[in-house]
Structure formats: C-alpha cells, structure tokens
Structure 1
C-alpha cells in the first residue's frame, strides 16, 4: 500500500507500463509490478519490443541519458520531452529553429517551442522542450515534431480504458500475487482483442480514422455477446468487421476536435482542498498555435 496523509491507501497498488501504437491504440507490449519500482526501472523491459522504423514518444520522466541511449541502440527513434530548465549544449543551429545537441552519448536535435491554446475563456501558453534522434531537419521539421508529440496522449486514453472502462470502477479481485498477474493479463488480452476488432472494422471503410471507433460501444457489445452466449460458433464466411465492428461502425464518433478542460482537483480527499460548487467543469473548444523558439546565443 502507498503511504498518505490519512493513513495510506485503501488497497495495494500496481504499476503498469505499456507500449501502445498511436494509430490503433493496440498494445505492443506491457510490463507491471510493485509500485516500489519507478517507471524508468520498468521501461528497459519494454525495449526488446522496439524495432527499426518505430518512433517512440515518451514524456519527461523518460528523458534519462542511459534510457535514451538504450532506446537508440534498438534501432528505433525517440521523441521525448525534457524539462525546460535542463541545459543542452548547442552544437549547430538549423533553419527550422531546432539545434543539434547531445544527450549523454547520443546526438539529438532539440526543439524548443511555445504552444498556445486559445479558448473563449482566454489563452494558455506553455513551453515545451523536445529531444529527438531524428536529426534530419529537412525530412522532420521542428513544427511537425511538435505536432507529432501531441499523439503521446493516446496512451493516457488507453490507460483510462484499462482502469476505468473495462473495470467499471472496480478494483482487482485476486488476493495473491499470482492471481493479480493472471487478472492483469486477462485485462490486457480483453483490451487487445477489442482494439483489434475496432481496427479491423474501421479498415473496412476507406478514410475512417481508428480514433472514431468508440471503445465503450465495442466493450458493451462484447459483454452482451458473452452474456447471451451469442456468436460462440464462428460462421464459415469470413467477416472482418464482425458483430462488434458493425456496432462500432453504426455509431462512429465525430472527427476528433481539439477540446480542453481545466486541470483541477475535482474530488478532493481533504475538505481543505475542495473548491465547492465553483469548479469549472466546462470543456472548451480550442485552437492551438506552435511557435518554434530559436536557441539563445551562448
């Protein structure tokens, strides 16, 4: 169990780390274990699943020199966010505003950018510092890399679907380490099967982005099939969409729009942290602008 201000958490916790494909959100690999080990301790166990031609998107916690070097050694490229205050040597400047630097033994391009979100409630500006092993600024302009990094949030949606949608707010039921292993693998298998069915279904229609497939509809349809014991015997005719896919295609989500919601404590444990009924729960339509910042002269 984790320690806390009120005597610790009610249940033991497990840490799970996953590699997820941005396009379909299918799982490439996953590892898990006690929370006594951090994310960077589990990350090396995922590296054997990286291949040449992949671009790994990672958040600031994974910007360690050794880890980036180990990722680069697999043949995969990396695009990772760094802390804004981290000092990076400027070895060469490029026309797109990025510059050549080093992260330990690895040569990287660094992109400093200012991202502004504009909504009816005002503007919010944040600074991002990205490092990548994609050194060719002609093939991979700084602006495109900054836009690509936003796709890293796909994995947060995958974690939400594993923890909330499938489990429905319930905790794991097993009471032994072996039972926990079995239950988590079952969750991962169910998630992977649903995502595969969703990807197969959207591939039957030209130009449909897998993002428009609803995970909730796929999950509910699969659950109903199990309850009704329907579709137990497969038809002799190949059906790429299947029952789950047809339900997904019948109620596609609209094309993804850029929306933001204030990041605040909505359910405070302590009453002193609560903000009462004045919490802004509105989701705002937003427009975004990216400005590449040239490095300062040494």
Structure 2
C-alpha cells in the first residue's frame, strides 16, 4: 500500500487528498506542504526511528501528532487525534487510547524532532524583502525567556521551581534562548536548559549560528568582553546596548558624535544618545549607550544605528506569540524531560512553519513588510486546515500563498506603531479584560526624537 499519497476521495463537492492507509492521519493540514511526508520520512530514517513494521500509529503519524498538539494546545492528545481524523470521514481510522498515544510518543523519542528543527530553522527571507535587510546586513537578535513545565516527579529531577518568600513557585521552569531574524521573526537557532543556566551561557551556544553578513542586536546583559569576542569571531557584526556608567577609553571622536573605543581587544564605536518618546500621556526621555563593530561612521551613521536598535524588541513579540498566542499562557504538557524536549522542538517547528507561510504570503506582494502579517490569523487558519484535512498534498501547480496566506493578506495589520515600554504580561482576572484598555493601532500617535550626545567622554 502506498505511503505517500492516495487517490482523491470525493465527498459531495469536497475532495480530500491524504496519505494512504494507517498513514492518513499523519498530516498538518496545509502546513504539510512546508513539512512534506518525504522530509519526515528521511529524518526518521536518519535518526533510525522508522518502524520495523507498520503499526496502527506509524512513526510519521506520531511526528505530525506532536506538531498538531502544539497547534491545538488547548486539546489533550486524544482530542488532537480526533481533530486530525475529523476531515477523513469514510476512511477506516484507528481509535487509539490515551495510553497508546503516549507509548507511541515515547517510542519516537526526541531525535526526529531535533533533526526536523535543524532542517527548518533559518531567517525565512528571500531576496531583498522589505523590512528584513538593513544596508546589506541581516539584523538578528538574541535574548532569553522562561517557560513553565508540568509539576511532575520526573520533571523535577531536571527542572526546579523558582524560590521566593512564599516557599517557591507552583511549577518548575526552564530557560529558552533564541536567535531570531528581526524582519521576519523566524527562528535561526534556539537552546533550552534548566533555569539555573544563564542567558549568557546559552548565548555562547547560539553563536554557532552567527555568520558574516548578520548584525546582532542584544541587550546590555550580553555586553561582556569575552562574549563580544565569541560573537565577533563568527564574522557577524554587533549592535549591543552597554551600561552608561561603564568606563571605556576614547581613542578617536567621529563627526556623527560617536567615538572609537576598545572592549576586550575588539575595536568598537560607542554611541551615546538621548531618546524621547512623546504620546498623549506625555514625554518620556532616556539615555542609551550602544557599542557596534560597524566602524565606518559615513556608511553607518550613529543616529541610524540608534533607530535600528529598536528592532531588538521583535524577539519580545515572538516570545509573546509562542507563550500567549500558541500556548495560551499554559504550562507545557509533557511530564518527563524527554517529553519536554519533544514538545519544545515541536513548538519551535510549528512556529517556524507559520512564519514561513506568512513570509511566503507577504513576499507575493512586492514592498509589503512582513510586520503587516498577523500571526493570530495564520495560526487560526492553520488550525482550521488541520481539522478539515485540507491542502495536505499540493496540486501540480504550486501556490506558495495557499489558504493560510490568503487569509493573512486579507487581514493585514496596520503599520507598526512605536513601542513605548517593555514587555509586561499579567494574568487577567477575567478573559474579557485580558487586553486591558483598548488601543486603536490606526489612530495611536507616538513620536520619537533621537539626539546623539556629542560630549567628550
């Protein structure tokens, strides 16, 4: 029996094309086009996780089950299974128990999900996409966040609870650090460890994915001399915030107000600026100091670099999309460390697939900034396609936009408004008050002014 596809099955006016036999439930709706059966099968073969005999739950089906579980984070795996087969009415489908699904996930292990993530990670940018490149460089950003995991005996052997005055938090936690492309918010690399592992330790691991032609944006936590050396040896350039009180030698003053200095043997330009943001609530002013390895003040003016640094906030938005939009603020469901490994890699894969679909859509309209694409619209469209088992196998005429992309283009966000404060997330008392006071993105007014400080350091 063929595994890669079966003839179209007509049901009224609707035609569904899926894999054959016990492989039919293994799909991710339209996102399957970005993660085709052949790719999953190759990874399973490379990691030696292909089943020796065709079971009711083949390994490929289990991979798609894990990914669908991230798309449908509100559902238990039995409910996820029901949604995977909901659009396959008329085909003989198994009805596995919760225990069978759990054993199938354990048989699969963590290696296939790690390998799939390695294949899919990257900036997801093609050509000179609007808002993605800056003066021939690809702005990327590095930062960390915290995820909570299920409070189980097995998880507590690896992940610990946060200590506080009241005795500790309710759930153990882990630290996730990622390297993202600012323009598309696509994941270039990611690592996660117990909470005791610091962000700077994880940053050294992520440096493996930095390349010449990238411009790394990072907060002042990453401005340690040895870490700067680690970053620069990759060939990437840097734009990192530095503490204003840090004493740095002044070697030369440039006309744009920046000055040449050295950190850990690396020559850097130092830019000090006063940034004022004016809204209807008044004006807020703060002083910033940035260091950069872009030493040419004519090609890379100081004021332009200060304005570019604002893109560092893109990773905060990405973490919000992962933790709030996809997971709904919920704890990771896996109850073992291996299960956590599976789940986080599956979560990153699903996020990357959605981002790729969004970039494909915005690429179809020249000059359209990827910022205009709505992640929530793409996520909901992908969920609908899973339940309907729609768009699983592409037609002979490839349409990169698809249903997900068409919905994204039909529901574009307004131009990005200026961000005026750091990320603050609270659990609301009522789901009807979760967003707080309404802000109309189309009429919200905010202006910024950047003054490069030219005083001799």
> What is the TM-score with the length of structure 1 in the denominator?
0.92
**Measured at CA, do residues 289 and 251 of structure 1 come closer, stay the same or move farther in structure 2, by a change above 3 Å?**
same
Give secondary structure in 1 for the equivalent of 2:328: coil
Superposed counterparts of 1:1-298, under 5 Å: 1-260=161-420, 281=437, 283=439, 285-296=445-456
Distance 1:199 1:45 in 2: 27
Range with bigger deviation, 59-68 or 282-291: 282-291
Q: How far off is 1:296 after superposition?
A: 2.8
Q: Distance in 1 between matches of 2:278 and 2:244?
A: 22
2:316–2:423 contact (8 Å) kept in structure 1: no
Cα-to-partner distance string for 1:62-85 (whole Å, 9 max, x where unaligned): 001001111111000010001111
Cα shift at 1:100: 0.2
State the shift of 1:176 in Å: 1.0
SS at match of 2:202: helix
Whole-Å Cα distance in 1 between the matches of residues 425 and 180 of structure 2?
28
| Structure 1 position 257, deviation (Å) | 2.1
CA distance in 2, matches of 1:231, 1:97: 55
- Consecutive unaligned residues of structure 1, counting only runs of 5 or more, are 269-279
Q: Take 2:176 and 2:382, find their aligned partners in 1: how far apart are those partners?
A: 24
Deviation by residue 1:225-254 (Cα, 9 ceiling, x = unmatched): 112222222222100111110110011011
Report the secondary structure of 1:294's partner residue: coil
Q: Deviations over 1:169-217 (max 9, x none)?
A: 2110111111101000000000000000000110000111000000000
Gaps of 5+ in 2: 1-160, 429-435
How many Å separate the matches in 2 of 1:98 and 1:239? 48
Separation in 1, partners of 2:173, 2:395: 42
Q: From the superposition, tell whether residues 37 and 223 of structure 1 become closer, same or farther in structure 2 (CA, over 3 Å).
A: same
Secondary structure of 2:190's counterpart equals: strand
For 2:236 and 2:174, the matched residues in 1 are separated by 28
Q: Deviations over 1:116-136 (max 9, x none)?
A: 001121110001000000011
Higher mean alpha-carbon deviation, 234-243 vs 258-267, is at 258-267
Tell me if structure 2 keeps the 8 A contact 1:92–1:101. Answer: yes
TM-aligned CA deviation for residue 285 of structure 1: 2.5
Q: Is this contact kept in 2: 1:113–1:292, CA < 8 A?
A: yes
If you compute each CA radius of gyration, which structure gives the higher value, 1 or 2? 2
Distance in 2 (CA, whole Å) between partners of 1:250 and 1:120 is: 31
Matching residue of 2:56 = none
CA gap 1:14/1:243 in 2 versus in 1, 3 angstroms: same
CA distance in 1, matches of 2:253, 2:378: 48
SS at match of 1:84: coil
Runs of 4+ in 1 over 4 A off after TM superposition: 261-268, 280-284
Residues 187 and 79 of structure 1: CA distance in aligned 2, closer, same or farther (over 3 Å):
same
Look up the SS of the partner of 2:206 in the other structure.
helix
* Alpha-carbon offset, residue 5 of structure 1: 2.3
Report 1 or 2 for greater relative contact order, CA contacts < 8 Å, sequence distance ≥ 6.
2
**Higher mean displacement: 49-58 or 222-231:** 222-231
Shift in Å, 1:281: 4.9
Aligned residues: 287
Moved more, 165-174 or 183-192: 165-174
User: Which has the higher mean CA deviation after the structures are superposed, 103-112 or 255-264?
Assistant: 255-264
Structure-2 separation of matches of 1:237 and 1:249: 20
The question of whether the paired residues in 2 share the 8 Å contact of 1:198 and 1:210 is answered with yes
Counterpart secondary structure, 1:285: coil
Is the strand fraction higher in 1 or 2?
1
Aligned-pair distance for 1:162?
1.0
